[in-house]
Structure formats: C-alpha cells, structure tokens
A = this chain, B = another copy of it.
Amino acid sequence: MTGTLANRLEDAMTFSPDLRADIDRFWSTIERSAEVGKGRPGGLSRLTLSDDDRTMRDIFVGWCRDAGLQVDIDELGNIFGRRNGTQNDLPPVMIGSHLDTQINGGRFDGIAGVLAGLEVVRVLNDAGHATRRPIVIVDWTNEEGARFSPPMVASGCYVGKYAPAWVKDLVGDDGARFGDELERIGYNGRTNCQAGEIDAYYELHIEQGPILDSERQQVGIVTAGYPSHGMRVQFNGKTAHTGPTPMDLRHNALVAGARWLTAVDDIGWDFAVGDGKATGARLAAWPNKPGILSDSAQAICDVRHPDPATARVMAEKMRRALFESAAKAGCEAVIEDEWFWGGDIFDEEMVAGTREEARRMGFKWRDIQSQAGHDAYFLATHCPTAMIFTPCKGGITHNNEESCEPDDFLAGVNVLLHAVVARADR
C-alpha cells in the first residue's frame, strides 16, 4: 500500500468532528426554492405534481447530479439521490422530507429537510469522506395532501401502507388524477415504490410550533409524536327546498357536517389545558347553494394530545359527536377513513445520538414532541427513525408568514450532519 493510498483511505475513514455545514450555501438553496411557485407575499403555493413542483424537482435533481449522486425516481415520483459508501451492500442511511407545499404555504416546511440532506452530502464531498454505508437523500411526493388527500401517501406507500394503484387513482379538488399529473410532469419513475432494508431514516423539519422560538432554543430533539387520531367522514342527506321543508323533515348533510366540526372544536377547547388540540379542517358539501338543502358533505377532523390515553378519550368523543351530529341533522354518517399517528415511534439510540451531537457542539437544545404529521412517521414503521426540529418564528406555519433566519438552521443542520455520518460510518 503506497503512502498516498493510505492517506486517501485514512481520509475516507475519518470525518473530523469539527467540520461544519455551510449554512450560507444551504440558505442559497432555500432561497432558490423560494423563487419557484410563489404564493402570497413571502410564501409558496407549490402544490404537488403542479408545473411548479416539476420545476423544483428538476432543480433538485440537477443539484443531486452535480453532487455526484445517483438519482432514482420511483413510480410515485419519490426522488432518491444516492451517495455510495465503502460498503454498498449495507442498508443505507436515509435523509428525507418534501418539496411540495400547502396552497398557502411557507418557504421552509419540508423544503429545509430535503435541502439539509443535500447540504450533508455536499459537506461529505468537500471533505472527501466516504461513509461506510451509503447515504440516500429523498424528496417524498405529496407530503402535504394539499392537492391529493390524504397527506404523506407516497412515503406511506413506500413502507407498504398504501398500494401504488390506489395512490395513482386519487383525485384532487381540481379534478386531476394523481397518476395523470405524475405522468404529465414526467416524474412517473420506473422503480417500484417499495422500501428495501434501511439502516436509519433522519428527517429535519421546522418545528411548526412556537416552543423553540419562545425559549430561544437552537434545536429540538424529537422524542415522540403527539398521538393524533383523525377521520374522514361522508354525510348523506337529501336535497330539498330550504323554504317550505319543515325542520323535522330535513336531511341537510351540510348541517350534519357543521355540527360535527363545531363539536370537535368544543373538544379541543375542553382539552386545551394540557395542550390538546382538535381541528375541523374540511367541510365540502353538495350542492352547497342557497335555496337547497345539501344531500352530501365530506368532513375531515382530528384530535391530538401529548398523553396517549387522553388522545384516545378525545378520539372517542370525536367519534360519538359524529353520530350525534348526523342524528341531529337526520343524516347518515359513513366513516371513510380513520388514522392514528404519533406516539413513541422514534428510535431511542438515534434520538440519544442526535441529543449527544447537540450537546457536543454546544448548541442550546431541548427534547420536544412533534405535533404535526411527517413522512418520518411512516418510515418509523419500517426502520429506526429520528427527527430534528429547527426553530421558526412564533410557530407560524402553513402560512405565507412562516419565517426563519439562516441562524435558525445552524444547530439543526450540523446535528443532522454529524448524526448521519456517525450512523453511516458505524
């Protein structure tokens, strides 16, 4: 073995604990992304599988290729950028999030997680460090569910929760079909949407809550997800004239839905002390016009609470309120979908690892629970998973006023970098 080769191998084997991500470089990718699919002032409206989504995907794929990654796109448009390690038969360490946004979304939600993965790869490239295991960065399709409901379908499919054909047949409020739009923007890839063995999955995300910001913490070590129970419901009634139809002969599906949303909001207030939340998020009735009672309404509600037992009680109250609301309006209620997220789903060793990196680098950190749904929740059903939260101003999110500064990512991106490399090199 020549000295040069030995040096090269040594470089490949060690990764200096003093190396840091280039936050300016990371920020420049955030700013480039913020130019694609602008929404209300300062925000983004980059709905999944739209023209703007395609433009952003093209940019991201270009960045991946420039970084020497091997790009694969699966049948649901998930984009994987793979950086080989020294032992490529080992399962990879994965870093992912999403580049799509809500219709009135911000510039950081999801996006920061994908681009933090890109920054990790770029730092490794600059350092000339080959990790032992491969690293794969991912952009998951349709995390938001803002165009095609439910959310997180593509990561869900990846871990076997949904069937690809079912996902492709989803139809948005705009009448477009998921599969058709995927093909239209040219991101219907050839590989199956099916996870192989994965060593670990990391996701960095803005907190989407006010805790880190209000406590001036630099990074949140996510220990669990708020247990969250949700339902999508169809109410069936009967159209009739709004004028002469007596109250006791009415079957107004819109009123059934309104009553349910009201009852669920009441549940939220009843459990607000203790940090419970309940949301009436959607109510879409038909014909939904003056002069006629609606015979159909679709509604989506959910409840969340940090304590699993309390969350279960809230969920049961939501369920009973459903049938009570339907009965009061003389309508039928059909539960079309139910879901549960959260709980102690994250990998203790990985969580401890991220915490240790935050401590080692001297960042102000705290343990925190995640309150929103994330692709990481699905990945956690398949492989060891951890999340890292970064602060956002006032916790404002899903709003064009979502706001972060470059410094807000200093701790999170570096914790991600060192946690990933440690994991990939072990």
CB distance from A30 to the nearest CB of B (A): 19
B293/A281 in contact, CB under 8 A: yes
Q: A145-B290, A291-B145 are in contact. Are A255 and B247 (CB under 8 A)?
A: no
A283/B283 in contact, CB under 8 A: yes
A242 at the interface (CB under 8 A from B): yes
Q: Please give, as numbers and ranges, the residues of chain B lying within 8 Å of A144 by CB-CB distance.
A: 291
CB distance from A42 to the nearest CB of B (A): 13
Q: A258-B257, A371-B243, A398-B240 are in contact. Are A289 and B280 (CB under 8 A)?
A: no
Q: Residue A292 contacts which of B268, B281, B290, B302 (CB distance < 8 angstroms)?
A: B281
B287/A285 in contact, CB under 8 A: no
Q: Please give, as numbers and ranges, the residues of chain B lying within 8 Å of A262 by CB-CB distance.
A: 255, 258-259, 262
B208/A290 in contact, CB under 8 A: no
A396 at the interface (CB under 8 A from B): yes
Docked pose: A238 CA to B278 CA in angstroms: 16
Q: Please give, as numbers and ranges, the residues of chain B lying within 8 Å of A328 by CB-CB distance.
A: 265
Q: A247-B272, A258-B262, A262-B255 are in contact. Are A230 and B290 (CB under 8 A)?
A: yes
CB distance from A341 to the nearest CB of B (A): 9
CB distance from A65 to the nearest CB of B (A): 32
Which of A146-154, A155-163, A310-318, A406-414 lies on the face that meets chain B?
A146-154
A269 at the interface (CB under 8 A from B): yes
B283/A240 in contact, CB under 8 A: no
A219 at the interface (CB under 8 A from B): no
B151/A291 in contact, CB under 8 A: yes
Q: Please give, as numbers and ranges, the residues of chain B lying within 8 Å of A269 by CB-CB distance.
A: 247
A295 at the interface (CB under 8 A from B): yes
User: Of all chain B residues, which has the CB nearest A284?
Assistant: B288
Q: A103-B287, A281-B254 are in contact. Are A207 and B292 (CB under 8 A)?
A: no
A290/B397 in contact, CB under 8 A: no
A104/B279 in contact, CB under 8 A: no
CB distance from A141 to the nearest CB of B (A): 15
A244 at the interface (CB under 8 A from B): yes
Q: Please give, as numbers and ranges, the residues of chain B lying within 8 Å of A284 by CB-CB distance.
A: 288
User: Of all chain B residues, which has the CB nearest A272?
Assistant: B247
Q: Please give, as numbers and ranges, the residues of chain B lying within 8 Å of A76 by CB-CB distance.
A: none
A73 at the interface (CB under 8 A from B): no
User: Of all chain B residues, which has the CB nearest A244?
Assistant: B209
B396/A240 in contact, CB under 8 A: yes
A261/B255 in contact, CB under 8 A: yes
Q: A302-B242, A395-B244 are in contact. Are A289 and B103 (CB under 8 A)?
A: yes
A373 at the interface (CB under 8 A from B): yes
B239/A102 in contact, CB under 8 A: yes
A-B residue pairs, 6 tightest by C-beta = A209-B244, A243-B372, A258-B261, A244-B371, A247-B272, A258-B258
Can you give 12 contacting A-B residue pairs, CB < 8 Å?
Answer: A102-B239, A146-B289, A239-B398, A243-B304, A244-B372, A247-B269, A247-B272, A248-B272, A252-B265, A258-B262, A258-B265, A265-B328
